[in-house]
Amino acid sequence: MVTIKIIKEIKEMQVYSNRLKQEGKTIAFVTTMGFLHEGHISLIRKGKKLCDKLVVSIFVNPTQFGQTEDFDTYPRGFEKDCVLLKQEKADIVFAPEAERLYPEQYQTYVNLLQLPNNLCGLSRPTFFKGVTTIVTKLFNIVKPDKAVFGQKDFQQLLIIRQMVKDLNFDIGIEAVPIVREKDGLAISSRNVYLSPEQKPAALTLYKTLEMAKKLVVSGEKKSAVIIDKASILIESFPETFIDYISICDPETLEELETVKSPALMALAVKIGTTRLIDNTILSF
């Protein structure tokens, strides 16, 4: 019978990881906020192949949510997640308590100077500080050899890679492509917030990216023209509010006036109260 070990205590996780290391075993790690879906599973399957043991964390990290954001209502489903992780043969679920990770008097944060000052970081000014802090803490607890992140959160992936380099973490960062629904919608835990009426608007994010890909292949290189067309398409749906649409350098995230190959096109759109992100690489 497949068993899965659930660890909630930080010390227990550290002891477990130390023991694996002493036995010469390697550890792959997938960080999640739970409410698992096909996107997470793709990371988990990749992680399974990379190392001897796979640890998956489930933790809705309060420090990456702004005061007006959806921390309290973020979808949670621990029991179901554990069943899924068992099916996927993950070895450990690490699900710490927020009070243990951030006790009273907590005062250390990890922050990057440049990459967060773009895209999502502009409207979510404390988000990446929360992400880099929790990922650092989880890396120190789980001690992975490899960690897997999704390209769905492209900026986050770049930031983690930079942080690992800057802070000399001895951890290989692996990326997994965006997993989409059949209709193209990027899978996200937040998709459950969408009403059936809002679904077509959500789908335009993907359609917009596909349109942009075709435009650059057919010779359009002015970012402003592509972004204009994208905005018109998205705003043709009710209840949509564009946070950003950006065509930028896929390494520095600096905006590009003229599309180069490859370029990153990334967008964040609020549909009603649900904020969705998506991205693609433009190339010609």
Q: Which residues bind ligand AMP (CB under 6 A)?
A: 32-33, 39-40, 42-43, 149-150, 152-153, 176, 178-179, 186-189
C-beta separation of 248 from 260 below 8 A: no
Query: Per residue, what are the HEC states of 216-265?
Result: HHCCCCEHHHHHHHHHHHHHCCCCEEEEEEEEECCCCCCECCECCCCEEE
| Nearest of 199, 275, 212 to residue 244 by alpha carbon | 275
Of 169 and 284, nearer to ligand AMP (C-beta) is 169
CA 40, CA 179: separation in Å to the nearest integer?
9
Tell me, yes or no, if 37 is annotated catalytic. Answer: no
Shortest distance in whole angstroms from residue 147 CB to ligand AMP: 9
Task: Quote the distance between the C-alpha of residue 230 and its chain's center.
Answer: 23
Shortest distance in whole angstroms from residue 180 CB to ligand AMP: 7
Closest CB to ligand AMP belongs to which residue?
150
Helices (H), 117-222: 119-123, 127-142, 154-166, 199-217
CA 270, CA 276: separation in Å to the nearest integer?
6
Of 176 and 263, nearer to ligand AMP (C-beta) is 176
Shortest distance in whole angstroms from residue 3 CB to ligand AMP: 24
Of 7 and 44, nearer to ligand AMP (C-beta) is 44
Q: Which of 7, 17, 30, 40 is catalytic?
A: 40
Of 187 and 247, nearer to ligand AMP (C-beta) is 187
Shortest distance in whole angstroms from residue 33 CB to ligand AMP: 4
Q: Please give the positions annotated as active site.
A: 40
